Every structure is written in structure tokens, then in C-alpha cells.
Chains A and B, each alone.
Chain A
Amino acid sequence: MPGTEAWTVLLPELVIVGAAILLLLVDAAVPESRGPHLAVITLVALVVAAVLAFDQWGADAQLALGGMVVSDSFGVFARWVILGAGALATLTAPGYLKPRNLDRAEFYALLLLATTGMTLLAVASDLVMVFIAIELLSLALYVMAGFERGRLEAQEASMKYFLLGAFSSAFLLYGIAFVFGGTGTTNLIRIRAIASVGGLDDFRLAGVAVALLTVGLGFKAAMVPFHMWTPDAYQGAPTPVTAFMAAATKAAAFAALIRVLVLSLPALRWDWQPVLAGITVLTIVFASIVAVAQTDVKRMLAYSSISHAGFVGIAVVAASRSGVAAALMYLLVYTAMTVGAFGSVMLFREGQSERVHIAKYSGLGIKRPAAAALFALFLFSMAGIPPTGGFWAKWYVFFAAIRADQAWLPIVAVAGSVIAAFFYIRVAVVMFMQDPPSDDDMPLDPSPGLRMAIGISALVVVGTGIAPGFFLSLAEKATAFGP
């Protein structure tokens, strides 16, 4: 086994788990403990974890838990995206939970545990660890999706996510079993070593194994046709959870997909590339078309996030260094856009709840020009219009695909983008070009954390748009993998 063992690889995860336990202890010691200190503990833990992860940036790869996890720059970048999504979601949470009487320590503890699962997924170098990490993040998310258990939609979201999630875990496990059968190991580093000397040439069931793994991970990444749970779960879950699920889970799932397919099974690429390319095309086209028909903004954003999974998928299909960097760059920008967009939905209040029906957005740009302009910024970025970060993200994906001689994928993606643009600009049309109803003064949510989260997201979207070079070179450096 190459690489040295060092438990410090898992230092960021240990900090997060520690904070989760601390939160639960606080809750036990001080019953009915509520207030902003819960969110502050969570935020501090996430930031400390991100800082600790920085230690592994550009350093020599190290292993932990007997080769179960590996530290490398790729893992650090993916963790940053996940921790960033978690921190932004945490910022938005208190303002949402408090009026609903949901601001309990469990929420933040679950969020931290889900984050732990995701970061573990990003550094997993063993299929068993991939499975454990997915289970950890899923179990926490099932509960979080149904956290507003008084609402019927929340129950539906949780139930659907759980049933289909359990189903997909079985697929994943079955795929892992096949790989074990073919190679005699579940360790990704060993699998790559075996494959590189032709050890998989006689592996007749390689196609089946890869297909099962793709189904399992494609479910978490919400790619068509494994997306069925997504719109309902995103719509029914508390919006901070939706933003967190949409941004962080996707980053974690794609990190795992890249580690398993691109990094460990390049020898089987003729099996997985066409399958993944097909899924990708289906994802972009289907999600874009269905999104056009949505009238609920949260649901529309859910379909939009599915179509973004297709774009990251293109970068994975490219199966190259620039493909991996493009996927990371896309996930970074996508996280900011997604949290920003869902955050904007939280910002626009209608009475005590959030404004979800698109017709209710009419004239928002006239009554609340600054907030509406920020929402429009996130939507235009999702549509890929320069000079926003979304443009460079798409750009890099196209570049990677064309370089890998897959020019047809960007062309399909372009068709999808044009359809998608229709619903992004429809929201802008409603906000800016229709007159507001006179009896509605369109209040904004007063929560300072939410505003901060939207502001940070906007900074990232604009920053990646104006100075893409810095972020691109970071993503390129992050393609340095472990052993």
C-alpha cells in the first residue's frame, strides 16, 4: 500500500463530529436550549474544519483507517465546497427555523453529521467507505427533509427520499459486491493498480458492476432517470435543508463518482463513458423541459439543479484532468448559485411563509429592486450568461468535453441551456416587467444570517465571473490526486 498512515487526515471530520456531539450535549444539559449560539457553534466547527483541511492542500498524500480514506488536493477542494455549502445553509437556517419553532440543536447536529458523511465521501478511497459515508449523509438528510413534521409535504419529502434512497443504496452495495468479486478488493487504490496491469481484462461482468455503481451514485447526484425523488424532496423540505441538499450532496456525490469512475476505473471507461453520457444528455434535456412547466419556484429550482447535474456529468464523461477540474469549478459556482437562489426564495416572504408561486413574484423587482436584482443575478448565472461565474463554469465543462473529443455533448447541452433559459428569464420577466399588486407590500425576511449568505453567494458568483483565472487555477491544482 503506497502512502503513509496518519490519523490527522481525518482531523476536519473529527472536529465536525465533535461539534455535533457538543450540540447534542448542550441540548441534553440545557433543555429547550434555543437561540443563535447553536448556529454559531455549527459555523465555527465548519470554518475550523475548512482551515484544518487546508493543511492537506498540495501536501503529499496520506492515508488513514487502513487505506479507507486518503488526503489529497482534490479532497480538500471538494471538502471546501461541501463545508462552504454547509456554512451558507447554516447562516440561512435560524431565520427560517425560529418562526416555525424548529430551531433545535438536533437540526444543527444533523446538519453537521450529514456534512461529515459528505466530506468522508469526498476523501473515500475504499468502496466500503463510500457506502458508509453515503449512508451517514443520507440518514441525516432523511430526518432533515422531514424536520417540519407537521407539514404534509415535509412528510412526503422525507418518505420519498428515504424509500428511494434505501433502494439506491442497495444498488450501490450490489455494485460494490460485483467489483469485489471481480478484483478481490474494495480498495480503490488497489483496484486501480490491478486494472492498470490488465487485471480486469477478464472481468466479464464489468459492465454490470459499473452500471450498478453509477445508479447508486447517480441517485445521490439526482441525475435522470434517478431523480424522481428530487422535486418532491426539495419542495417539501425546509428551504435551508433544500439548499444544503441541492448544493452539498451533489458536490459529494460527484466527488465520489470521479474517484470511483475516472480515477479508479479508467480501464473500464468504454463501459461507463457511453452510459454516463446517455444519462447526462437525458438529465439536461428532460430536466430543462420539465422545469419550463413548473409554477412553484422551489420546484423549478429543483429541476434546474437536476439539469446542472447533467453539466457536471459532462465533465465527468470527459474523463480527463481538465474534466475533473471543470467538474470542481462547476460544483463551486453551482453551490453559490443554488444557495443564493434558494436563499432568495426564503428572503421573499408572504405573510409568515415564503413566496413560492411564480405569480406571486410579479412586480417584486419594482417593490424590492435590490433583492430581486440579486435573485436575477443567480438565475442569469444559472443560465450561463457572462460575466457571471455560471458562464465560466459552463465554459470549462465545454472545453473539457471538446478536448476529450466529445463535442456532441456541449451541443446537446446548448440546446438544454436554451430551453432552461426560458424559465430563468421567465422569473425575471415576472419580477421586473409585471406590475405589483397594490395590496401587497412584499416584505423581506429580516434575518441577518440569510442576507449574509445571499451576499456571500453573490460575491462568489460575481468573483468567479470577473476573475475566473484564480478559481480555475485552484481547480486545476486540485486535480492532484492521492496515490
Chain B
Amino acid sequence: MNGIPWLSLLLFIPLAGAILAALAPRRDELLKRIGLIVSLATFGVSLVVFAKFEVSNAGFQLVERLTWVPDWGIDYYLGVDGISLLLVVLTALLFPICFLASTGVNKRVKEYVIALLITELAILGVFMALDMVLFYVFWEAVLIPMYLLIGIWGYERRIYATIKFFIYTLAGGLLMLVGIVVLHVAVRGQGEVTFSYIDFLELAPQLALGTQAWIFAALAVAFAIKVPVFPFHTWLPDAHTEAPTAGSVILAGVLLKMGTYGFIRFSLPLFPEIALKAAPYMMAAAVVGILYGAAVSAVQSDLKRLVAYSSVSHLGFVLLGLFAFTLQGAQGSMLQMVNHGLSTGALFLLVGMLYERRHTRAIEDFGGIGSVAPVYSGVFLIVALSSLGLPGLNGFVGEFFILSGAFQANRLAAILGAGGVVGAALYLLWAYQRTFHGPITSDSNRVFKDLTTRERVLLAPLIILIVLIGVWPQPFLERMEPAVSKTLSALVGGGP
């Protein structure tokens, strides 16, 4: 551990920013600027973390540890490894973009900036916590600002959506709490008083299989609700559709990854035998999610709802890759988490811009936008193609790895899952065609404004990364590989 606690800085900069925003005068532009600068500073620190990260090291790096509740072995314990590094950077990247995309927010801006910064802090905490109580605290702490974001700055049915989101996620979270306490008590029975993830890695797999199964189930339900895995997905379309643009970007971009991250961080390595037994069921749920999400997306008339349902499908892929227990599958899943954050985040931003211009998201209200807003249409096309997995863009790399990894484990699941790729092409291109091609049917579409400079600036980093990961994924893959193969070695013995 060197002098500067970089990971704590990642938490304290947003916290300090939130306090600053609370004290600042109620001038909307100033407050938004504070949010932007603070989140950019956080992103800067995350880049330092990325640069300091040793590529070939499979363990946790930049570790910080302070005692919190000594009697129970609860610590303030942070660290990153190849699994969490990219998610941390992705989170830090998306928040400045969200602030840039928040020009449309003009009510209670102070509370908005504070809520976004606290969300950032809590999500970063989830990805960096190495103490399971700390992890749980951050996990639940995400809930309140997110609940406010949807409920205050959302669209018409926001209150219904936010209550549903809150109740669902809290139910999962509390079950996880019981699971964590059971784990602690079981380990305590063997003479260890700890909540450290590192200790659990060693101790949890030695517990009685029955105990392991119960804890696995409790955690799996919590993670499955967050991902969301079919049939726990019903909160997602409502929350994503009703949330303000920034909220949707955060939800899709990083919040859902808390669930998949939970699976790969906790469920697989802590309970390898149970995970192996559960794998066929999880893969089945993943495949159902992929196909169901694609099918439901195809029939949506609301563009935002379509993107929301496509998340169910895409996250199904991530789950499929994880539970294939092959290096390829897991790496594909890890990469796909980032990819989905980039491309679905960008899609939500684009749909948000559409709504700001026309105050409607119904596909039938559009048509022929391509001829009046060529840049907007071009960007939309790139992002849609990335989302449906066109070779050369990022989505392809992730889905290819996942499907080839899954094929080695379960051919049927891989073949059925591949159907989801076809489905994605179908619903995205069809929606694209109806929105951007054809004759202009409405007068208000004739004056549709193309992207402004601000909008181009905020979309540019996402587009660059979409292309970069598509043609040169190596820097990302090589950072996650040691940690991923270490995690898998516990499952399949000795590593692939």
C-alpha cells in the first residue's frame, strides 16, 4: 500500500462533492457544474487506478483496510482486481456523461446533483468492497438515491415504478443480509470471526453442503433480482422507462452489473460445488431471459421500453457466459458487462435526446428522421449495431466469447442463446427502420434538430470505446484474465 489511498479517494471525492453541492447556493448552472467537475475528478482518479493496476496480478490491488467493528471482524476493506477494475472505470466514466446529459433537469437541481453523486459513491463502493458487510451497506445505500432519482425526476408513472423498484430490490437485499449473517455464523462455528471476502474464499467452500446451498440461494435471489434474471425482471422495464435519462443510463450502465458482479464475485468462488449444481438451471434461466427479452422488445411501441427490455436479453448473455465455467465464457461475460454499459447507456442517452426534442417516445410518431438529422441517425446506427453484435464493434467480441464459451459447456443453451443475437438484430433494426427511414409523416419531425456540440461531446467517449473494444479488446481482456481464471480454477480445478 503506497501513500495515497486511491480507492478511498474514489469514494470521498463524490462525497465531498455532494456536501459541496448541499452547501452551494441554489443556482442551477453552478450546481450542475459542480456535479460535472466532481464526477470528472472521480473519473480522473479511476484512470490513475487503471494505470496503476498491475496487469498480470490475479490478486487484489491498491488494498486499504481499517477496522470498523472489531468485535465482529467487520472492516472498511477496499481493493480492486481484474473483475472489478473495468466496472469501476465504467462507473466513473458514465457519471460525467450523465451530468452532461442533464440539461433538461430544471427542478430541484440541488437534490438531483446530490442524489447522483451519492449513487456514484455507493456503486463504486459495491465494486470495491472486500468486506461483505461493507458490500451490503453500499449495496443498500444505492437504493435510496436511486429511488429518489426515479421518483422525483422521472416520467408519468414514476411513483409506481420507483416503489416497485425499491420493494423488489430491498426484498433481495434483505435476503442477502440473512445469507451473509448465516455465512458469518457458520464460519464462526469453525473459530473464525470475520466478514472478510478473502477469508470467506478459503472458509466458505469447506462448509457443509446443505448450509452452502441455503446461503447460495439467498445470495442468488438478491443478485438475480438486480441483474435481473427471468422471472425477477418485472421491475426493470418500469424503472428504466420511467427514470430520467441519467437514471436510465446509471440503471442499465452499472446498476444491473451489481447483480452479475455479485454472481462472479461471490456466488461462484464461495460456493463452487453448489454453483456447479445450479449451473444448468441458471443457464436455462439465462436462455429464457435472452429469448424472452428479445421477443418482448420486438413488440414494444415505446422506444425506451424497447431498450429496457433489450437489457433483459443482454444480461441473459452475461449470465449464460458466467455459468458456462469456461475462461472464454467468463471473460466474454465480463467484457459484455462493460459493453452493455456503453451501448445501452448510449441508447438511453439517444432516446433521451429524442424525447427532449419531440416529447414522445412512441416509434409510430417518427419516421424519416435520417434525412433531417443525419449525425444523430448515424450515431444511433453505430450504437444499435454495437448492441446487436456486429463484428468490428464491441458487442460482437463479448457475445462471441460468451457463445463459444457456453458451447463448450452446454451446446443446446449456446445454440438457443444465439437465437437472441438474431432477435436483437430483428428488433433493433426494425425499430431503426421505422424511426429513421421512410417518408417524414409529421411536420414536427421536419424540424428535428441534429445533435448539438454538447451532445456530440458526451456521446464521443462512448462511441470511441465501442469501436476500440471492437477492434482491439486486448488491453481489457488481459487485465481481467488472471483474476477470472483464478476464480474459475476454484470451480473446475486447476484452471482451463
Contacts and interface: CB of A to CB of B under 8 A. Distances in A.
A399 B185 contact: yes
A398 B141 contact: no
Contact of B141 (A386, A395, A407, A432): A386
Please indicate which of the listed interface residues A387, A399, A418, A468 has the most CB atoms of chain B within 10 Å of its own CB.
Answer: A418
Contacts of A421: 166-167, 170
Interface in B140-174: 140-141, 143-144, 147-148, 151-152, 158-159, 162-163, 166-167, 170-171, 174
Contact of B167 (A366, A422, A432, A433): A422
A418 B136 contact: no
Contacts of A403: 185, 188
A385 B181 contact: no
A386 B181 contact: no
A433 B152 contact: yes
Contacts of B182: 402, 407
B178 A411 contact: yes
A402 B140 contact: no
Interface stretch (B68-76, B372-380, B433-441): B68-76
Given A402-B185, A414-B171, A425-B163, A433 B158 contact: yes
A394 B141 CA distance: 16
Mostly, the A contact residues are helix
Contacts, number: 84
A395 B167 contact: no
Interface stretch (A275-283, A294-302, A469-477): A469-477
Interface in A383-397: 383-387, 391, 394-395
Interface in A429-483: 429, 432-433, 468-469, 472-473, 476
B167 A429 contact: no
B184 interface: yes
Contacts of A429: 151, 159, 162-163
Contact of A385 (B68, B143, B148, B159): B143
Interface string B5-28: 000000000000000000000000
A395 B185 CA distance: 12
A417 interface: yes
B336 to A, nearest CB: 30
Contacts of B163: 422, 425-426, 429
A475 B202 CA distance: 31
A77 interface: no
B195 to A, nearest CB: 11
A218 interface: no
B159 A433 contact: yes
B22 to A, nearest CB: 10
Contacts of A432: 148, 151-152
A382 B120 CA distance: 25
Given A425-B166, A433-B159, A468 B151 contact: no
Nearest to A465: B137
A380 interface: yes
A94 interface: no
Contacts of B147: 425
B185 A414 contact: no
B246 interface: no
A410 interface: yes
A394 to B, nearest CB: 8
Contacts of A369: 111
Contact of A472 (B69, B136, B162, B174): B69
Contact of A469 (B70, B141, B148, B175): B70
Given A387-B141, A399-B181, A472 B71 contact: yes
A369 B111 CA distance: 10
B181 A414 contact: no
Contacts of B70: 469
A426 B185 CA distance: 34
Contacts of A384: 174
A406 to B, nearest CB: 11
Given A399-B185, A410-B178, A410-B181, 8 more contacts: A366-B108, A385-B140, A407-B178, A411-B175, A433-B152, A433-B159, A472-B71, A476-B71
Interface of A: 366, 369, 380, 383-387, 391, 394-395, 398-399, 402-403, 407, 410-411, 414, 417-418, 421-422, 425-426, 429, 432-433, 468-469, 472-473, 476
